[in-house]
């Protein structure tokens, strides 16, 4: 096999799949971390029978805990990207690039920073309030959200299939959320809503980032995202009253990760560092973009499914969260639509490039 073709067919997609597989083990660490080993749950009577109770997340403590953890994640990430910035000796280039920013660029920087920090915050709340697997699967709506924002902000003309795809994807999302509504718990409904809010933040981030890539390179953009996100989260923690002893204790307490089947007690700060670097942050993102350079868009899109598909099995085995048949059907519909739209956009992009070259 030709070396270049081998990269595009085997090596690149394998790296992309591996990066997404790393993200699949995020929930077994993040879920007990968010709920403080399930201590931030309260008993709730579900009927007149005094013996019928369920345990639900505390609606006051979980948001406070989540925003504090996200801040610590961003601060760790900021330190790492700043070290990388200095090691690349790129400080002067970043300053020069910032000097070229106009009003639109600074607004985009503010929005991409908010999306980085608050998107993860709402995602963590979704983890704490409901089924983390559903929260992860709903994130696959991000490409469609990105297309919608690109149409509104960048004035890009979407494919003629976009609107039909959006309706079909909405039906898939409805099946997943409808099943949640049928469970009759307010927290499960909120979890689905918060997960979609996170998808909106992250999906729109692609558009704001695309605007900024006209002025800054990828590594500098990553640095700006972490710095801006940290600043926004510092004030968000202040507004939510998250600077308290209960939250600061997370840095020293013991977290039991991977559930009861494989109990792995680790320090809380170490757990946050793990999700920042290995499962939900810097390393998977770097590997993802590295592998994407060697992948065909269509093959790379399929490899990306390693994250949600593997997460279904990981979350079921370690945390006991599964999917109903209706939710599984909804997820399959959403996956199929996103993959199809990715392929169609690739073909149209290649056609537009060919027409530009011919003229």
Q: What is the pLDDT of residues 193-210, one digit of tens each?
A: 899 999 999 888 888 888
pLDDT exceeds 60 at position 53: no
Dist CA 72 CA 90 (whole Å): 25
Mean pLDDT of 113-121: 92
Kindly report which listed range (40-54, 102-116, 129-143, 194-208) carries the lowest average pLDDT score: 40-54
Q: Write the pLDDT tens digit of every residue in 301-348.
A: 566 667 778 888 888 887 788 888 888 888 888 888 877 776 666 666
Higher-confidence residue of 84 and 303: namely 84
pLDDT exceeds 80 at position 183: no
Q: Phi-psi region for residue 63, left (φ > 0), alpha (ψ -120 to 50) or beta?
A: alpha
Dist CA 28 CA 317 (whole Å): 10
Predicted TM-score (pTM) of the model is: 0.82
Residue 264 phi/psi, 5-degree rounding, is: -125, 90
Q: Are residues 139 and 195 in contact, defined by beta-carbon separation less than 8 angstroms? A: yes
Residue 158 is classified by DSSP as -
* Number of independent structural domains in the chain: 1
How far is CA 74 from its chain centroid? Answer: 14
Q: What is the pLDDT of residue 318?
A: 78
Specify which residues 265 forms β-bridges with: 256
Mean pLDDT of 234-245: 93
Give the residue carrying structure tokens 């297309």. 147
Higher-confidence residue of 287 and 356: namely 287
Write the secondary structure of 244-287 as one string of H (helix), E (strand) and C (coil): CHHHHHHHCCEEEECCCCCCEEEEHHHHHHHHHHHHCCHHHHHH
Q: Could you tell me the residue range of the domain that residue 103 belongs to? A: 3-358
Q: CA–CA distance from 332 to each of 63, 172, 193, 300, 316 (Å)?
A: 30, 8, 20, 18, 17
């Amino acid at each position: 096999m030709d070396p270049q073709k081998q990269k595009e067919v085997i090596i690149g997609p394998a790296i992309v799949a591996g990066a997404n597989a790393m993200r699949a083990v995020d929930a077994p660490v993040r879920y007990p971390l968010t709920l403080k080993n399930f201590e931030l749950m309260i008993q709730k009577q579900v009927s007149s029978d005094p013996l019928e109770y369920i345990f639900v997340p505390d609606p006051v403590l979980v948001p406070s805990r989540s925003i504090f953890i996200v801040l610590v994640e961003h601060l760790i990430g900021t330190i790492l990207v700043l070290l990388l910035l200095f090691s690349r000796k790129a400080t002067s280039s970043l300053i020069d690039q910032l000097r070229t920013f106009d009003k639109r660029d600074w607004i985009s920087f503010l929005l991409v920073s908010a999306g980085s920090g608050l998107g993860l915050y709402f995602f963590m709340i979704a983890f704490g309030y409901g089924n983390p697997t559903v929260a992860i699967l709903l994130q696959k709506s991000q490409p469609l959200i990105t297309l919608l924002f690109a149409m509104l902000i960048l004035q890009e003309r979407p494919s003629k299939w976009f609107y039909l795809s959006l309706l079909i994807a909405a039906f898939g999302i409805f099946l997943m959320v409808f099943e949640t509504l049928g469970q009759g718990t307010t927290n499960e409904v909120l979890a689905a809503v918060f997960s979609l809010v996170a998808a909106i933040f992250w999906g729109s981030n692609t558009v704001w980032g695309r605007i900024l890539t006209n002025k800054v390179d990828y590594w500098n953009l990553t640095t700006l995202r972490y710095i801006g996100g940290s600043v926004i989260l510092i004030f968000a923690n202040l507004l939510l009253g998250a600077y308290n002893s209960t939250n600061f204790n997370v840095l020293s307490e013991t977290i039991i990760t991977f559930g009861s089947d494989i109990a792995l007690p680790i320090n809380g700060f170490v757990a946050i560092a793990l999700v920042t670097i290995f499962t939900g942050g810097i390393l998977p993102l770097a590997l993802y973009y590295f592998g994407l350079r060697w992948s065909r868009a269509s093959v790379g899109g399929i490899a990306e499914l390693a994250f949600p598909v593997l997460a279904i099995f990981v979350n079921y085995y370690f945390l006991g969260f599964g999917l109903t048949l209706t939710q599984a059907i909804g997820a399959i519909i959403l996956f199929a639509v996103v993959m199809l739209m990715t392929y169609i956009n690739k073909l149209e992009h290649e056609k537009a490039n060919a027409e530009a070259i011919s003229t």
